[in-house]
């Protein structure tokens, strides 16, 4: 432990000093020495630990009646292990001698007051504060790492409040303390000592808008808790009561990591001498560092908890039948169904585009957080007004000038299951977003959203090429499903090539007149023969396949996948101008509820009484232990350029893996 302070002794009068428990103090035995003195000896009262540090090359430790030489490089270090009961109740005596004389030429007396000052947080990440005399100023990732964690206090524990808790400088609910990380200030020492010394908590100006600190002053009722550090308070003179040895604080995060914020904040306490000096001088400072919990997405492989869907009405009527089918699927999956009524969605059915569920976690607590997209259509107020609440947080990012594009909707935001890529582990998966083709013009997700996702660090984003689609969302050509084998999942990709191959096989088997869209009232039928003979449909599909294949290779590279990890789902697309749309309901745009899949009913050619597209998908997925339910979304969703995934949203269980155990 490196010395923290130096104390200079005097031969003429006693010296008085403060010694902080666990902190080494250098005693200057060389500056004020009696004339003719060549050696010294040092002793202290019980409770004072004295060490003499010397250079073995210039001398040895004295034995018998021998003393320490003054000429050599010899230093005296002292420390105390406990706080004093009274002022100056510890002492150190230094005696100086001539060579070969037993009588001291002079003596210096040092009277010490030991005080125990320490600022402690949950550096070990065990969910409780433990005294730590080690490194509290740095934060380290990994299973052997250390450093405290803060939750962004973005929920609303008081239902009467209009804002998230982080917007309030006053505590509005005692439950809110559970969202905050505890911090304990040890302040043990004689009460009279604190008449001339004070403790000051500080937050750097750059961190003051990122963190808030609360403390109970005079009691434990709601009104007793005050914010003592935060955007309006850079320092706080600690109000220590007589006999008080520990003071408990509660620390909240105010902002998520972002492009201008790495996620680290620091707090410090200083022991300040208020007397006998022209200026207040800090005698000791202790600093702790927190990292803000990132916002973490959950992939399809996580167990479903709640499914959200909208009740809507259009020229074809209500989507009541669709809601009944979804309700039956939810019952099979044993999760909760939440229907957003028309009055709350204002006929905006695309609830996946409006928001994305994730969570935040600290060792002492975790809660879900909804990320509200910047698209702001009919559902724009739903997340804030209906989801934000006790232990359910809210975050959003706003686009300042140009406004949102289609790629800013969260159907264009997905996350893979955990993967390992070239030895690099991503235990929380990787975020996937759709974008334009590299180094080309076109649509791209807003920088403010991309920056936010990247800054979370724990799910390194991958940009895919989705601008070839009219809507432009990644959920139009990919999905993930859970499996019970070692891999744990499969990547599903829409495949025009597989679809055309299936139709050719059925033609060769003599089913060329079987028709796509058979049974649909609002869509002309197309026989297999007609579709295969349609040069435009064939060319469109070949172009789309090239776009998907480009993403396929990128996904294999960025997610560490091989071909056996990918399942090709038959799907045709047609070009509308320069961009593509699904020719029939897009089956890969499904909702995944554990082993139960809600798949858009494709209305494929009926062969031997069964839809050949459905049969093909069953043959691909059911051997993996999955259960396929095909749901009619044709009028309510497909004709409006969306499918089941677009019209539903699932909140899932958090990962059991702790994000701080990874190394980004």
Positions annotated as catalytic residues are 646
C-beta contacts of 22-27 below 8 A and 24+ residues apart: 22/79, 22/81, 22/116, 22/118, 22/133, 23/79, 23/284, 24/51, 24/77, 24/78, 24/79, 25/77, 25/78, 25/79, 26/75, 26/76, 26/77, 27/76, 27/77, 27/78, 27/92, 27/94, 27/110
**Number of Cβ within a 10 Å radius of residue 145:** 17
Structure tokens at 530: 């007609």
Asked whether 293 and 151 are in contact (CB, 8 A), the reply is yes
Please choose, from the candidates 482, 463, 338, 496, the residue with its C-alpha nearest in 3D space to the C-alpha of residue 417.
Answer: 482
**Alpha helices by DSSP H, 382-527:** 382, 447-455, 496-508
Place of tokens 């969202």: 179
**Alpha helices by DSSP H, 188-341:** 193-196, 320-333
- Distance from the first to the final alpha carbon of the chain: 31
Q: Which residues contact 155 (CB under 8 A, 6 or more apart)?
A: 164, 165, 179, 367, 369, 388, 389, 390, 391, 392, 393, 394
Length of the chain: 664
Spatial separation of the C-alpha atoms in residues 376 and 229, rounded to whole Å: 34
Q: Which residues contact 549 (CB under 8 A, 6 or more apart)?
A: none
Phi, psi of 589 (to 5 degrees): -85, 65
Place of tokens 């090429």: 465
Helix/strand/coil (H/E/C) assignment for every residue in 296-346: EECCCCCCEEEEEEECCEECCEECHHHHHHHHHHHHHHCCEEEEECHHHHC
Structure tokens at 152: 């962004």
Structure tokens at 142: 């990994």
C-beta contacts of 552-558 below 8 A and 24+ residues apart: 552/493, 554/462, 554/464, 554/465, 555/462, 555/464, 555/478, 555/491, 557/421, 558/421, 558/430, 558/462
To the nearest 10°, the Cα dihedral for 626, 632, 638, 639?
170
Structure tokens at 213: 């600190």
- The three-point CA angle 355-359-361 to 5° equals 165
Spatial separation of the C-alpha atoms in residues 61 and 318, rounded to whole Å: 93
């Amino acid at each position: 432990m490196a010395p923290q302070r130096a104390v200079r002794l005097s031969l003429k009068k006693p010296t008085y000093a403060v010694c902080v428990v666990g902190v080494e103090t250098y005693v200057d035995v060389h500056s004020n020495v009696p004339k003719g003195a060549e050696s010294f000896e040092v002793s202290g009262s019980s409770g004072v630990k004295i060490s003499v540090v010397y250079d073995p090359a210039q001398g040895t430790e004295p034995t018998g009646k021998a003393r320490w030489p003054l000429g050599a490089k010899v230093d005296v270090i002292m420390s105390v292990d406990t706080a004093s009961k009274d002022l100056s109740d510890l002492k150190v005596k230094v005696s100086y001698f001539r060579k070969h004389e037993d009588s001291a030429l002079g003596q210096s007396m040092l009277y010490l007051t030991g005080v125990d000052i320490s600022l402690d947080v949950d550096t070990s990440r065990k969910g409780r504060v433990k005294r730590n005399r080690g490194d509290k100023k740095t934060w380290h990732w990994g299973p052997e790492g250390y450093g405290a964690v803060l939750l962004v206090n973005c929920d609303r524990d008081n239902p009467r409040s209009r804002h998230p808790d982080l917007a309030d400088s006053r505590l509005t609910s005692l439950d809110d303390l559970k969202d905050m990380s505890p911090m304990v200030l040890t302040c043990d020492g004689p009460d009279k000592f604190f008449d001339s010394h004070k403790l000051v908590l500080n937050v750097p100006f750059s961190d003051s808008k990122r963190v808030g600190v609360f403390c109970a002053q005079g009691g434990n009722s709601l009104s007793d808790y005050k914010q003592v550090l935060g955007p309006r308070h850079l320092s706080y003179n600690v109000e220590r009561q007589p006999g008080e040895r520990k003071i408990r604080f509660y620390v909240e995060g105010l902002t998520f990591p972002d492009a201008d914020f790495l996620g680290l904040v620091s707090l410090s306490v200083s022991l300040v001498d208020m007397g006998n000096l022209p200026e207040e001088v800090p005698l000791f400072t202790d600093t702790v560092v927190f990292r803000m919990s990132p916002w973490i997405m959950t992939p399809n492989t996580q167990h479903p908890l709640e499914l959200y869907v909208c009740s809507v009405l259009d020229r074809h009527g209500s989507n009541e039948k669709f809601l009944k089918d979804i309700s039956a699927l939810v019952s099979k999956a044993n999760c909760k169904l939440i229907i957003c009524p028309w009055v709350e969605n204002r006929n905006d059915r695309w609830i996946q585009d409006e928001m994305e569920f994730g969570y935040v976690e600290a060792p002492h607590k975790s809660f879900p957080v909804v990320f509200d997209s910047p698209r702001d259509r009919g559902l724009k107020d739903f997340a804030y007004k209906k989801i934000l609440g006790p232990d359910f947080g809210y975050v959003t990012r706003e686009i300042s000038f140009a406004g949102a594009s289609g790629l800013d909707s969260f159907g264009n935001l997905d996350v893979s299951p955990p993967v390992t890529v070239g030895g690099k582990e991503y235990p929380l998966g990787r975020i996937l977003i759709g974008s334009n083709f590299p180094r080309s013009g076109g649509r791209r997700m807003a920088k403010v959203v991309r920056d936010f996702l990247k800054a979370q660090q724990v799910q390194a984003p991958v940009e895919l090429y989705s601008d070839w689609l009219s809507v432009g969302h990644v959920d139009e050509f990919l999905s993930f499903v859970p499996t019970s084998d070692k891999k744990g999942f499969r990547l599903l990709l829409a495949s025009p090539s597989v679809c055309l191959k299936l139709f050719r096989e059925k033609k060769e088997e003599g089913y060329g007149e079987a028709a796509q869209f058979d049974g649909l009232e609002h869509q002309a039928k197309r026989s297999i023969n007609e579709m295969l003979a349609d040069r435009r449909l064939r060319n469109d599909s070949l172009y789309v396949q090239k776009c998907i294949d480009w993403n396929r290779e990128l996904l294999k590279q960025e997610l560490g996948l091989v071909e056996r990890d990918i399942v090709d789902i038959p799907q045709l697309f047609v070009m509308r101008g320069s961009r593509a749309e699904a020719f029939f309901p897009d089956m890969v745009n499904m909702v995944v509820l554990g082993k139960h899949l809600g798949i858009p009913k494709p209305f494929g050619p009926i062969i031997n009484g069964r839809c050949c597209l459905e049969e093909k998908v069953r043959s691909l997925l059911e051997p993996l232990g999955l259960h396929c339910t095909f749901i009619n979304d044709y009028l309510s969703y497909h004709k409006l350029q969306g499918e089941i995934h677009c019209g539903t949203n699932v909140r899932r269980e958090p990962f059991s893996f702790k994000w701080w155990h990874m190394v980004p």
